[in-house]
Amino acid sequence: MVVNIMTNASHNTSIFALSKKSKKICVIGGSGFVGTALINRLSREKHQVKVFTRRKERAKHLRMLPGVTICSVDYYAAKVLERQFDGYDIIINLAGILNPQGAISFKQVHLVLTQRLLEAASAVGITRFIHMSALNAGDKASDYLMSKGHGQEAVHKIAKMKVTTFCPSIIYGKNDQFFNRFATLIQLPGIMPLIGAKARFAPIYVEDVVSAIINSLGNHETYGNNYALCGPKVYTLHELVNYTAKMLEQQKTIFPMNWLLSGLFTRLLSILPIKPITVDNLRSMKLPSFSEHPIAKELGVTPVSIESVLPWYLGSNEKNLLNDRYRDIAQ
């Protein structure tokens, strides 16, 4: 069962926080963009959080949060995860990569690690598992999506595990790697070639994603379900980049590439040591990244639009200050 969620983080209250006592929660992959937003909210709501990350220095910005501890372990060492999970109530798995990195493959992160987390959680009696997947997970279009699908299948196979899976479109927010990256490219001199200009997305605000996760934690209606996480409107990549340029007040000439040109250009870029986009990324982009399913009422959230958020962190300083004033007045 796949359900579309459209969320409004700015005005949502946490159903879980209001109705349940503080929980002890392990977050895997918690030092990244989504993890940082989630852990900040969990800390504010008085939960005890243990953050697992491959490198402790990446999570240093979380160290001072009340109730948060940082942990770096060998996930595959005998009984190590079991000892770390023992006494905790919930596992939230945010681990994921967009591209393989040396020995770190899609399969290793999206399937093998997920299986290891499930094994350790089951061994110490944890029965609640939140899993971050992706829209179109399991589609054969790309290795990334295939591996995400395998991980998603793995979590829902465990009979006694109460699993909820989230499948987001592009997630954006103040420190995202989407709009901020394009903002940097837009400010470079010259014409900007745009690979995959026709790709379609329904971007969702990171705080909306966080609300969906938190409101699912103790919600029995969400057990066993996969939820598509999408914003209220579908855009082409070209439209999103144009809007970014508008927010920056930049008159940028953008050259939108069709799928054929995009494929040729991506293969040309593959010779670079650091690849801005891979062939596998492009294959994923060809699939529509949005959902037309009804909003999931049990999550208690509604969506915000990019037009209500982007000016706050991509606009000029004057616009930022004005938006802050409006936000203060509204609260």
Q: Give the pLDDT of the chain (331 residues) as one tens digit per residue.
A: 444 433 344 445 455 444 457 899 999 999 999 999 999 999 999 999 999 988 888 888 999 999 999 999 899 998 999 999 999 999 999 999 999 988 899 999 999 999 999 999 999 999 999 999 999 999 999 999 999 999 999 999 998 899 999 999 999 999 999 999 999 999 999 999 999 999 999 999 999 999 999 999 999 999 999 999 999 999 999 999 999 999 999 999 999 999 999 999 999 998 888 888 999 999 999 999 999 875 588 988 888 999 999 998 887 643 554 455 445 544 4
| Kind of pairing between the strands at 24-28 and 2-5 | unpaired
Q: Which residues contact 221 (CB under 8 A, 6 or more apart)?
A: 298
The whole-angstrom separation of Cα 101 and Cα 96 is 12
Beta bridge partners of 226: 2, 165
CA distances from 71 to 63, 85, 107, 122, 329 (A): 10, 11, 23, 20, 40
What residues have CB less than 8 Å from 182, skipping those under 6 apart? 240, 241, 244
pTM confidence score: 0.89
DSSP letter, residue 104: B
Cα of 142 vs its chain's centroid, Å: 18
Let me know: does 168 contact 204? Beta carbons within 8 Å: yes
Residue 59 in tokens: 């999570």
| E strand or H helix at 90 | strand 90-93
**Ramachandran assignment for 159, one of left (phi > 0), alpha (psi -120 to 50 degrees), beta (any other):** alpha
Do β-strands 162-168 and 2-5 pair in parallel, antiparallel, or remain unpaired? unpaired
E strand residue ranges, 147-287: 162-168, 171-172, 192-194, 200-201, 204-205, 226-229, 235-236, 254-256
Strands in 48-52's sheet, in edge-to-edge order, are 2-5, 226-229, 162-168, 128-132, 90-93, 24-28, 48-52, 68-71
**Distance between CA atoms of residues 88 and 83, nearest Å:** 10
CA atoms of 227 and 169, how far apart (whole Å): 11
**Domains parsed from the chain with CATH numbers:** 2-173+202-230+291-303 (3.40.50.720)
